[in-house]
């Protein structure tokens, strides 16, 4: 007969065989006791003791191979530094952790190839499921998502007929909320600093801005629209370009990072916020509250979307036969100092300019 399997691996780390041998029982009994299912009191005692003595800790990989699940869930977002994704991530992590799983975070940099490569590697079964928030979507991309061997939930807009669990918001409407608010407080020369138009959110926000302006009968002035990417530096640069050629009395920004960049550019240019230019960001991240003046921002419920996406994913992991579901989180506007109606009246001509410390402290 051939020699039995090694009881003690060269590694030195104990396996269930080590424990079983030491306890004088079979590996099956040892495994049962360690999993808390069955076993006589005597067996339980012996196995527990042996396990404690050798410091046994089960090998999760072997277990996964057997059980066909890893307890890992992946999240793929464009930019891990964007506070909106941090908030989403926190919400997802809370749900995922409460189900005893761990979260694997991936930054795609918005590059599609990166994301499809990730999808493909996903097929190798290392994660039980995935949440992805793509900012660009192609057909290839879509079929990769649909064909994924593990459950996928998408956060963001998706073709209407795609059979994929999906939680979205309505950022078109979100931009409209911002514009409505600015118009209501007397602003008319409303500028817009957007992200790339070839992204899903960029396109949606552009459409929303144009529609909202049209809804108020305000003619579109191309000089008041500027495009960068969704980062701080680009937002600042784009705003500088815009200010060089136009004179807005309000600025809508496609996310909070851009808004912070815009704020910086405005203050450097000597404009007072909100007296000279009202400013509204989007995503309502912690960053908006950190600024001085605090930024108004359109909340797109990122934490809520993350939470729901995680729940959808967990449900689908539990039951793969569920029909594709779609959930929607409504946007809502949070008004803060950066777009407050100016003190005496919305008219920029009247009123003492100085009551607010922000103006003097900031425009040195």
- The site for a copy of itself (CB under 8 A) is made up of 11, 13, 57-62, 64-65, 68, 70, 72, 80-81, 83, 86-87, 89-90, 93, 102-107, 120, 123-126, 149, 232, 260-261, 263-264, 267-273, 275, 286, 290-293, 357-358, 360-362, 364
Residue 351: left if φ>0, alpha if ψ -120 to 50, beta else—which one?
left
Interface with DNA (CB under 7 A), residue total: 34
The Cα–Cα gap between 288 and 198 comes to 26
Cβ proximity to a copy of itself, 24 vs 109, nearer residue: 109
The Cα–Cα gap between 313 and 309 comes to 6
Q: Of DNA, a copy of itself, none, which one does residue 26 interact with (CB within 5 to 8 Å by kind)?
A: DNA
Nearest to 155 by CA among 287, 255, 303: 303
- Residue 5 makes contact with DNA by CB under 7 A: yes
Cβ proximity to a copy of itself, 2 vs 68, nearer residue: 68
- Residue 166 makes contact with DNA by CB under 7 A: no
Burial of 37 (0-12, 13-18, 19+ CB in 10 A): exposed
Count Cβ neighbours within 10 Å for each residue of 124-147 and write b for 16 or more, e otherwise.
eeebbbbbbbbbbbeeebbebbee
Task: State the nearest-atom distance from the C-beta of 96 to DNA, in Å.
Answer: 21
Cβ proximity to DNA, 62 vs 322, nearer residue: 62
Nearest to 298 by CA among 171, 192, 186: 171
Task: State the nearest-atom distance from the C-beta of 26 to DNA, in Å.
Answer: 3
Peptide bond into 293 cis (omega under 30): yes
Cβ proximity to DNA, 223 vs 317, nearer residue: 317
Single out the segment in contact with DNA by CB under 7 A; choices: 12-20, 231-239, 295-303, 335-343: 12-20
Cβ proximity to a copy of itself, 106 vs 216, nearer residue: 106
Show contacts with DNA in window 37-96 (CB under 7 A): 38-40, 42-43, 56, 58-59, 62-63, 65-68
> Residue 348 gets which letter from DSSP?
S
Task: State the nearest-atom distance from the C-beta of 261 to DNA, in Å.
Answer: 47
Q: Which residue has the tokens 């694997």?
A: 104
- Residue 146 makes contact with DNA by CB under 7 A: no
Burial of 223 (0-12, 13-18, 19+ CB in 10 A): middle
- Residue 27 makes contact with DNA by CB under 7 A: yes
Task: State the nearest-atom distance from the C-beta of 317 to a copy of itself, in Å.
Answer: 15
The Cα–Cα gap between 241 and 122 comes to 42
Task: State the nearest-atom distance from the C-beta of 275 to a copy of itself, in Å.
Answer: 7
The answer to whether 291 and 260 have CB atoms below 8 angstroms apart is yes
The answer to whether 55 and 254 have CB atoms below 8 angstroms apart is no
Task: State the nearest-atom distance from the C-beta of 152 to DNA, in Å.
Answer: 20
Cβ proximity to DNA, 32 vs 189, nearer residue: 32
Q: Which residue has the tokens 């660009």?
A: 136
Contact footprint for DNA (CB under 7 A): 2-3, 5-6, 9, 11, 13, 15-17, 24-29, 31-32, 34-35, 38-40, 42-43, 56, 58-59, 62-63, 65-68
């Amino acid at each position: 007969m051939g020699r039995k399997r090694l009881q003690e691996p060269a590694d030195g780390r104990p396996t269930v065989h080590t424990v079983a041998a030491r306890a004088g029982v079979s590996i099956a009994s040892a495994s049962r006791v360690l999993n808390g299912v069955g076993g006589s009191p005597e067996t339980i005692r012996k196995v527990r003791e042996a396990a404690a003595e050798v410091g046994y800790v089960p090998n999760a990989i072997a277990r996964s191979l057997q059980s066909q699940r890893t307890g890992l869930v992946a999240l793929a977002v464009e930019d891990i530094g964007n506070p909106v994704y941090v908030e989403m991530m926190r919400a997802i992590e809370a749900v995922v952790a409460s189900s005893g799983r761990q979260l694997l975070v991936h930054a795609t940099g918005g590059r599609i190839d990166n994301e499809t490569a990730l999808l493909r590697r996903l097929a190798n079964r290392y994660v039980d499921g995935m949440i992805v928030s793509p900012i660009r979507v192609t057909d290839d991309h879509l079929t990769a998502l649909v064909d994924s061997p593990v459950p996928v939930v998408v956060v963001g807009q998706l073709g209407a007929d795609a059979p994929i669990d999906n939680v979205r918001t309505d950022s078109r409407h979100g931009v409209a909320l911002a514009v409505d608010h600015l118009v209501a407080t007397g602003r008319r020369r409303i500028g817009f600093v957007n992200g790339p138009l070839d992204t899903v959110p960029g396109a949606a926000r552009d459409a929303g801005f144009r529609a909202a302006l049209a809804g108020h009968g305000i003619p579109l002035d191309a000089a008041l629209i500027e495009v960068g990417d969704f980062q701080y530096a680009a937002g600042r640069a784009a705003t500088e370009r815009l200010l060089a050629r136009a004179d807005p009395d309000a600025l809508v920004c496609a996310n909070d990072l851009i808004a912070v960049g815009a704020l910086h550019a405005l203050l450097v240019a000597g404009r007072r916020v909100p007296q000279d230019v009202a400013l509204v960001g989007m995503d309502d991240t912690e960053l908006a509250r950190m600024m001085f003046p605090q930024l108004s921002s359109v909340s797109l419920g990122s934490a809520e979307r993350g939470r729901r996406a995680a729940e959808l994913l967990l449900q689908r992991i539990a039951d793969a036969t569920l029909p594709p579901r779609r959930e929607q989180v409504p946007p809502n506007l949070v008004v803060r100092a950066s777009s407050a109606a100016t003190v005496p009246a919305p008219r920029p001509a009247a009123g003492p300019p100085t009551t607010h410390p922000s103006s003097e402290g900031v425009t040195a």
